[in-house]
Amino acid sequence: MNSALFTFLPLGLVITWGILLLLLGAFLPNERRSLLTSIAALGAAVSGVATLFSYQQMLKAGGTLAPLGNFYVLDTFAVFFHLLTLFALLVTVLISSFYLERENLQRGEYFALLFFSLSGMMILASSKELMTLFVGLEIVSMSVYTLVGYQRTSLRSNEGAFKYFLLGSLASAILLYGIALMYGVTGTTQLAGLRDYFLSRAHTPLSGLAMILMLSGLGFKIAAVPFHTWTPDAYEGAPMPITGFMATAVKAGVFALLIRVLGEGLVDLRAYWVDLIAILAAVTMLVGNMMAFVQTSFKRMLAYSSIVHTGYLLVGVTALSNQSNNQAVSALLYYLLIYVLSSLGVFAALTLLSARREAHTKLSDYAGLASEYPFAAFALSLFMLSFIGVPPLGGFFAKYYLFATTLGAQQVLLTGFAILNSVLAIAYYLRVVTTLYMQPTGEHWAQQQARPVAITAVLAITALTVFWAGFGPFNLGVFPGINSLMNWLQTASLVG
């Protein structure tokens, strides 16, 4: 009984808080709906504390809590993603407060949908059963479809949501058909059952088709090329905080699913899927970089940048194997941590600066920003340099750790191609920095007065963390704790 309580406490709190926010949004008068932000932020914080408490109980129980078997487990891997996505939720809530007030969009369902989508992400990180994973993925998708189209009077928002919904529905159908075929071949939807089946039986053409369909459906959800076409329109049409939420929490949640499936359920079929993932990674990096070069919209550039980072993460996925799972998983988690922190900071800055109705979304609109908003410009530049991988920022060591792991897995050509793409990405990331500091200031910045404390705090925390996390490989007494983080990530094994 206690085991079940501790396992489901964080998830139960998130769902309960979402329902509470939905009810409050329906009954609170318009002039008091700003209270929803404080209540939502409190809910994210309380859920985070509950996750840490459950983690302590998990350690006392021997390392894993699984009262429902493989349907929902609490292990180090799950706890990492719970904390990461909860932090992304908290940041999204904080920056949404300013955005919703500015855009006059104070409606109760906004925060409720964020919490419901997060509940789906927690299922993605904690389940080891395909149908439960699919349900979690659909909870995420349905909530985010709605949030993308939250600006009801914006044609751009409606278009992005409609494309995302149509293509997402098709991808879900493909994924579900792949799961059905896999069940028909193996007689199980448990990841442990799949592993046992392929450990003792030969791979068949039907299981190969099932695997391809499953990877195609997941490829859409992570925005891998050629399943990426929804991404620029959905990112551009969504409210700025939701774009950040999609680029961070949603991507992290789906990668948790992908890592679980390939690193545990289908790890013995690695010889069959590794080349497919490698091709997806290479094409995703190349196409993402090529399209990012030519973008004039800051949001669309960041959409293609997100696609490129999907490619880097897929490079890390190729290192998953029976021999190197722990090292590959820890490298992927560290990369996701740095990417999420940097991206949240970028979208916090853009939420502050984009002006009413997101009038300032072109890169040229940010010319000379440093003279009027020196701290925001500095933070944006820091995040761009982290995306490039400039030492000693976290992005450098995230790429180093990831690429070193893939080299150890004998993915030499793919790693070299990833490094080449990292060099190519310098062009459009540095273009942002030069625009902020080396171009004449636009007149519209002189009229910008609002500097919300919450967004400034988010920028400070994410910037400091990205800088601090860059010292991970070094034993510097000035930065206690980062070594503990690296050691903790090494314990996030998939099986055990």
Q: At what angle do helices 325-353 and 374-388 cross, to 10 degrees?
A: 150
- The pair of structure tokens assigned to 54 is 């459950």
Predicted local confidence at residue 368, as pLDDT: 83
The label of the residue with tokens 């369909």 reads: 213
Question: What are the Cα distances from residue 89, in Å, to 42, 240, 399?
Answer: 11, 14, 25
Whether 326 contacts 490, CB under 8 Å: yes
Neighbouring C-alpha atoms within 13 Å toward the C-beta of 342:
30
Name residues whose C-beta falls within 8 Å of residue 243's C-beta, 6 or more positions apart in sequence.
Answer: 235, 236, 299, 302, 303, 347
DSSP type of residue 62: T
Angstrom distance (rounded) from CA 119 to CA 110: 15
**H-type alpha helices, 187-297:** 191-200, 205-221, 231-237, 240-245, 251-260, 270-293
What 3-state class would DSSP assign to 315?
helix
- pLDDT given at position 413: 95
For the chain, residues with pLDDT lower than 50 are 1, 475-481, 496
Host H or E run for residue 329: helix 325-353
Indicate the DSSP class of residue 250: I
Residue 274's pLDDT is: 93
- Taking only the tens place, the pLDDT of each residue in 208-265 is 999 999 999 999 999 998 988 899 999 998 999 999 999 999 999 999 999 999 988 8
Can you give the pLDDT at residue 392? 83
Contact between residue 142 and residue 130 where contact means Cβ atoms under 8 Å apart: no
User: Could you give the angle at the alpha carbon of 493 between the alpha carbons of 490 and 496, nearest 5°?
Assistant: 135
The per-residue pLDDT for 112 is: 93
* pTM score, whole prediction: 0.93
In 3-state terms, the chain is what percent helix, strand and coil (to 5)? Answer: 80, 0, 20
State phi, psi for 399 to the nearest 5 degrees.
-70, -40
Considering only the C-alpha atoms of the chain, give the largest distance between any 2 of them, rounded to a whole number of Å. 69
- Output the pLDDT for position 67: 79
Report the C-alpha gap between 122 and 402 in whole angstroms.
Answer: 24
Structure confidence at residue 391 (pLDDT)? 85
> b/e string for 185-209 if b means 16 or more Cβ within 10 A?
bbebbbbebbbebbeeeeeeeebbe
